């Protein structure tokens, strides 16, 4: 009698379970690498806390952020109002909690639009070169030549105040660095041996870009976007401070500083606490970006 020793065939359910386990192990390893860097762990923890505060804002905030009570206007921080109240008697802690939603809305919406836009233009310019590269990079240079805040001010002034217009304006000013980075990565990849082998097999330029170059550019782009989030927060706060972002009575952090600057000498908490929120979250995104660079960029090892 002949005994055959074959390789056991995995069922579809077994393959899915194996993929889930591998993904879980990779996630655990990724989190472990981040936890080994103290600054990255602090930054990631603050960003996670910001996300949780934004999600559970109705349960965290003790007061309605829009309800005014002039009888308790400009109350100093105490056991009832942890961060005090503003000139209209609104609880500053509650306004900060709800303001995290606006901040994350701007940051996430700008990130998911500026990333694909900059990546698409950058890899296209780097791969095709020639006139395509020259035209796209000259347009990029025009945008880079202006300070981002000044250019955002110009766009918002043309479009009008509002959160959606702020997102559009910041997107139009934030894509050039992403495009330059993606172009540089593509220039270093397009002459690689494996790209030449793929071309010889008859792959179209679109397939080469989508299947081989874009995935290799993604880690650098993700790192850059994460580090840009601090700049997005500051730009959005600056536009809000100038009255071009979220309109009153929305609890946007920059607008809170703007409305309280009249009372800042006598009531320090009105501007100091929103300013600290902007500072801490900007630093958190910078720390997180540095950690992602150390983990995702093999050249940093």
Q: What is the pLDDT of residue 20?
A: 65
Which DSSP letter does residue 85 get?
Answer: B
- Identify the burial level of 4 via C-beta atoms within 10 angstroms of its C-beta, where 0-12 means exposed, 13-18 middle and 19 or more buried: exposed
CB atoms within 10 A of CB 101: 17
Residues, the chain: 301
State whether residue 44 is helix, strand or coil: helix
Q: What is the pLDDT of residue 281?
A: 93
Q: Is the pLDDT of residue 286 over 60?
A: yes
Q: Is the pLDDT of residue 190 over 70?
A: yes
pTM for this prediction: 0.83
Q: What is the pLDDT of residue 248?
A: 83
State whether residue 18 is helix, strand or coil: helix
Q: What is the pLDDT of residue 129?
A: 84
Lowest-confidence segment of 160-169, 204-213, 256-265, 274-283 by average pLDDT:
204-213
Digit-coded pLDDT (tens) for 219-265: 888 888 888 888 899 999 999 998 888 888 889 999 999 988 888 88
Domain coordinates in residue numbering, the chain: 101-301
Q: What is the pLDDT of residue 57?
A: 93
Which sign, positive or negative, has the C-alpha torsion 21, 26, 31, 37? positive
Which sign, positive or negative, has the C-alpha torsion 246, 251, 257, 262? positive
Q: Which of 6-15, 51-60, 121-130, 285-294 has the highest mean pLDDT?
A: 51-60
Q: Is the pLDDT of residue 144 over 70?
A: yes
Q: Which CATH superfamily is domain 101-301 in?
A: MetI-like (1.10.3720.10)
- Identify the burial level of 97 via C-beta atoms within 10 angstroms of its C-beta, where 0-12 means exposed, 13-18 middle and 19 or more buried: buried
* Average pLDDT of the residues in 199-206: 80
* Average pLDDT of the residues in 190-205: 80
Digit-coded pLDDT (tens) for 101-143: 999 999 999 999 998 999 999 999 988 888 888 999 999 988 8
The per-residue pLDDT of the chain, averaged, comes to 85
* Average pLDDT of the residues in 22-50: 75
List the beta bridge partners of residue 149: none
What is the pLDDT confidence band of residue 65, given thresholds at 50, 70 and 90? very high
Separation between Cα atoms, residue 13 and residue 278, nearest integer Å: 47
Q: What is the pLDDT of residue 275?
A: 94
């Amino acid at each position: 009698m002949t005994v055959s020793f074959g390789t056991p065939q995995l069922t579809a359910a077994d393959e899915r379970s194996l993929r889930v386990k591998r993904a879980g192990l990779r996630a655990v390893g990724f989190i472990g690498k981040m936890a080994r860097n103290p600054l990255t762990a602090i930054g990631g923890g603050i960003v996670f806390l910001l996300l949780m505060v934004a999600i559970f804002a109705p349960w965290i905030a003790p007061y309605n952020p829009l309800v005014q009570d002039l009888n308790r206007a400009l109350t100093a921080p105490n056991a009832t109002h942890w961060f005090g109240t503003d000139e209209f008697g609104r609880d500053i802690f509650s306004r900060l909690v709800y303001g995290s939603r606006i901040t994350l809305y701007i940051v996430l919406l700008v990130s998911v639009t500026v990333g694909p836009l900059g990546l698409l233009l950058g890899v296209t310019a780097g791969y095709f070169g020639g006139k395509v590269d020259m035209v796209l990079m000259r347009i990029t240079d025009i945008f880079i030549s202006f300070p981002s805040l000044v250019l955002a001010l110009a766009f918002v002034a043309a479009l009008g105040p509002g959160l959606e217009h702020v997102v559009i304006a910041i997107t139009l000013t934030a894509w050039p660095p992403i495009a330059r980075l993606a172009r540089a990565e593509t220039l270093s990849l397009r002459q690689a041996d494996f790209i030449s082998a793929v071309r010889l097999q008859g792959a179209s330029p679109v397939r080469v870009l989508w299947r081989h170059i874009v995935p290799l550019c993604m880690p650098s782009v993700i790192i850059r976007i994460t580090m840009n989030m601090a700049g997005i927060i500051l730009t959005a706060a600056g536009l809000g401070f100038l009255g071009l972002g979220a309109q009153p009575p929305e609890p946007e952090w920059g607008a809170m500083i703007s409305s309280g600057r009249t009372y800042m000498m006598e009531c320090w908490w009105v501007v100091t606490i929103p300013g600290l929120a902007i500072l801490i979250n900007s630093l958190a995104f910078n720390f997180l970006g540095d950690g992602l660079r150390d983990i995702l960029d093999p050249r940093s090892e």
